[in-house]
Amino acid sequence: MLDFLKPPIQTFQDFFLLAGRALRTLPRRPHYGDDISLQMDMIGVGSVPIVLLVGFFSGAVMALQMSRALAQYGATGQVGQIVAITLVRELGPVLTSLLVAGRVGSGIASELGSMKVTEQIDAMRALGTDPVQKLVKPRLTATAFTLPLLTIIADFVGMVGGYLMAVPVLSLTTGAQYWNNAYRSLEYNDITQGLLKPFLFAIIIALVGCYYGLRTTGGTQGVGRATTQAVVVASIWIFVTNLMVTRIFVNL
Amino acid sequence: MAEGRDNTVLRFENVSVAFDDVLALDKVSFVLERGESRVVLGTAGSGKTTLLKTAVGLIRPDSGRVELLGHDISKMEESELYDLRSRVGILFQEVGLFDSLTVEENVAYPLRNQHTRQAVNSDLREQVVEALRFVELEHTLDKFPSELSGGMRRRVGIARAVVTAPDVVLYDSPTAGLDPITAYTIMGLLIKERDIRNAATVMVTHRYQDGQLLANFRYNPQAGEIEPASRNGSRADLRTKFMVLQEGRLVFEGVQEELEASTDPYVSKFVRR
């Protein structure tokens, strides 16, 4: 009667088994440092341009939206505070992670999926190397390390975008007041959740991408399906985790 | 069984493997000894590839026991198998070259990545070039697999399989889909590898003539080419045995004379080709 629950529970179980194996391999040799550097370059450095763009525009649009709302209360001087808090707590981590899920999660799933359907994963195992250690660990490490850094970049560029919109364009406040407000409004709580979130999201993106990649079947169509699933599932889990983390930090 | 107590390289004991209730291997038992060659014949879907993958633990048996190089791999964890697999060379039917790595990186892969090997970079290139020279492709170091022909890809696959000087080499249909001349070249390489290093060899194929070559030809290091094992025409090598698989069952095991004398309608079909 409850047979329909079997596939999702099986998926969930398989995912956590892979996650467990990946985490167990973290301290274990060999570490494949070259692969970690390569992935950091592809995932981290490669994502910088798009993160700059998104960070800048989300900060600018935040300032623009807030200009009307704040004007009603005569509090346009607070624009720096609002831009900083929303970016550091929410927009920075979530938008950056969603973009990276689209760019990197899909890349991981399609790369590993193609390797799976062309017997390259089996070849890797037959050649005496663990695909989890060789493929999953470098991608997980690289994403977990670079996504918080990308978020910091997005947060900063967003504040610059907000500044350009609030000060030179709309003249809502002075530059000194904008930056002073932004700086003073941020507490350790904001910074902690602003960095913890991308770290957790990175683990989700890398592991979901690897999981769907490594279980790909059905040729090129299967690779396409795995890629889509990786992005959709990672995005959903980013939102769910975001809510849970925010819930914890709101009470702190 | 402790390693080194006998010459057994690979032992199957009543091994069965099923996919969705269909038996791919049905109680298969055989023993492969050091320096021995084994030709596994069978039609498509008879379980040949499953047999090779089970031999190195890529597929786990549902029942029975597989012993590789003295270790019962049917009970080993996947993580324990990697070091053991590094002593086995395997050529897949689709070769399984890493398409985003160059030929050099592909052949260097086992040397650079196996846990048990700590290849120094300067030695590495030398070993890779030597392995590629073995298959006469040392000029393709910087090419990607997609730039090579099917036969060349197989030869790179052979170089990658043997670069670590494994104790046993498994070949999955090494000549499938190749023209007769390229197929002969590939078979020459298999024989050369076997005779130079005396490695145990398992070759899965549906072509009887490949088995015939493996059983009756030797590599002559002076001439640098393969030649008939015995010039007086008698077939000398009893170290090459043939096995025939039919729907997962091992229906024949023996030397070439026995295979040719078999009256079993399925077995004799391979010889008549």
pLDDT in tens, B154-203: 999 999 999 988 989 999 999 988 888 888 888 988 888 888 888 899 99
Domain annotation covers residue B128? no
Q: What is the count of structural domains for chain B?
A: 1
Tokens of A132: 């989890």
Structural domain containing residue B30: 8-87+166-272
Q: What is the count of structural domains for chain A?
A: 1
Structural domain containing residue A103: 32-250
- Tens digit of pLDDT for each residue in B223-263? 888 888 765 444 455 588 999 999 999 999 988 888 888 88
CA distance B242 to chain A (A): 24
Q: What is the pLDDT of residue B212?
A: 87
Yes or no, beta carbons of B113 and A29 under 8 Å apart = no
Domain annotation covers residue A16? no
- Tens digit of pLDDT for each residue in A126-164? 998 999 999 999 999 999 999 999 999 999 999 999 999
Which is nearest to B28 in space by CA: B71, B69, B59?
B59
- In chain B, residues with a C-beta closer than 8 Å to the C-beta of A122 are 53, 58, 92, 96
H or E segment to which residue A64 belongs: helix A46-73
- Per DSSP bridges, beta strands B88-91 and B71-72 are unpaired
Domain annotation covers residue B123? no
Question: Which carries the bigger pLDDT value, residue A196 or residue A250?
Answer: A196
H or E segment to which residue B41 belongs: strand B37-42
Quickly state the pLDDT bin for A222 (edges 50, 70, 90): very high
Tokens of B35: 């320096």
pLDDT above 70: residue B118 = no
Any A CB within 8 A of B123 CB: no
- Tens digit of pLDDT for each residue in A40-98? 999 999 999 999 999 999 999 999 998 888 888 888 888 899 999 999 999 999 999 99
User: Would you tell me how many other CB atoms lie within 10 Å of the CB of residue A113?
Assistant: 29
Any A CB within 8 A of B90 CB: yes
- Of the candidates B78, B86, B98, the beta carbon closest to that of A120 is on B98
Which is nearest to B168 in space by CA: B17, B29, B3, B25?
B3
Q: What is the pLDDT of residue A38?
A: 94
CA distance A129 to chain B (A): 6
pLDDT above 80: residue B117 = no
Q: What is the pLDDT of residue A140?
A: 96
Q: What's the N-to-C CA distance of chain B in angstroms?
A: 41
Q: What is the pLDDT of residue B234?
A: 46
Domain annotation covers residue B189? yes
Question: Alpha-carbon distance A93 to A201, whole Å?
Answer: 8
Q: What is the pLDDT of residue B237?
A: 55
Q: What is the pLDDT of residue B231?
A: 53
Domain annotation covers residue B110? no
Q: What is the DSSP string of A208-243?
A: HHHHHHHT--SHHHHHHHHHHHHHHHHHHHHHHHHH
Any B CB within 8 A of A90 CB: no
Interface test with B, best of A36, A111, A127 (most B CBs within 10 A): A127
Quickly state the pLDDT bin for B31 (edges 50, 70, 90): very high
> Closest-CA residue in chain B for A32?
B113
What does the pLDDT average to over A174-197? 91
In a 13 Å sphere around the CA of B45, the CA atoms on its Cβ side amount to 2
What does the pLDDT average to over B22-41? 91
Domain annotation covers residue A22? no
Q: What is the pLDDT of residue A16?
A: 93
- Tens digit of pLDDT for each residue in B120-149? 566 788 889 988 988 888 899 999 999 999
Any A CB within 8 A of B68 CB: no
- Cis before A148? omega within 30: no
Yes or no, beta carbons of B115 and A123 under 8 Å apart = no
Domain annotation covers residue A187? yes
Domain annotation covers residue B124? no
Q: What's the N-to-C CA distance of chain A in angstroms?
A: 43
Any B CB within 8 A of A123 CB: yes
Question: Alpha-carbon distance A237 to A73, whole Å?
Answer: 37
Any B CB within 8 A of A118 CB: yes
> Closest-CA residue in chain A for B118?
A30
- Per DSSP bridges, beta strands B200-205 and B217-220 are unpaired
- In chain A, residues with a C-beta closer than 8 Å to the C-beta of B85 are 125-128
CA distance A216 to chain B (A): 16
Write the CB contacts of B36 (distance below 8 Å, at least 6 apart in sequence).
Answer: B9, B200, B201, B239, B240, B241
Domain annotation covers residue A15? no
CA distance B97 to chain A (A): 7
pLDDT above 90: residue B45 = no
- Of the candidates A32, A126, A134, the beta carbon closest to that of B58 is on A126
Question: What 3-state DSSP class applies to A136?
Answer: helix
Write the CB contacts of B56 (distance below 8 Å, at least 6 apart in sequence).
Answer: A126, B68, B73, B81, B85, B88, B90, B170
How many contacts (CB atoms, under 8 Å) link A and B?
66
Any B CB within 8 A of A190 CB: no
- In chain B, residues with a C-beta closer than 8 Å to the C-beta of A29 are 115
Domain annotation covers residue B115? no
Question: Which carries the bigger pLDDT value, residue B266 or residue A1?
Answer: B266
Q: What is the pLDDT of residue A101?
A: 94
Domain annotation covers residue A182? yes
- In chain B, residues with a C-beta closer than 8 Å to the C-beta of A130 are 78-79, 82
CATH number assigned to the domain comprising residue B232? 3.40.50.300
Question: Alpha-carbon distance B50 to B66, whole Å?
Answer: 13
What is the ipTM, given to two decimal places? 0.84
CA distance B92 to chain A (A): 8
pLDDT above 60: residue B74 = yes
Domain annotation covers residue B158? no
CA distance B231 to chain A (A): 38
Any B CB within 8 A of A26 CB: no
Determine the length of chain B. 273
Q: What is the pLDDT of residue A112?
A: 96
Domain annotation covers residue B125? no
Q: What is the DSSP string of B141-164?
A: TT--GGGS-HHHHHHHHHHHHHTT
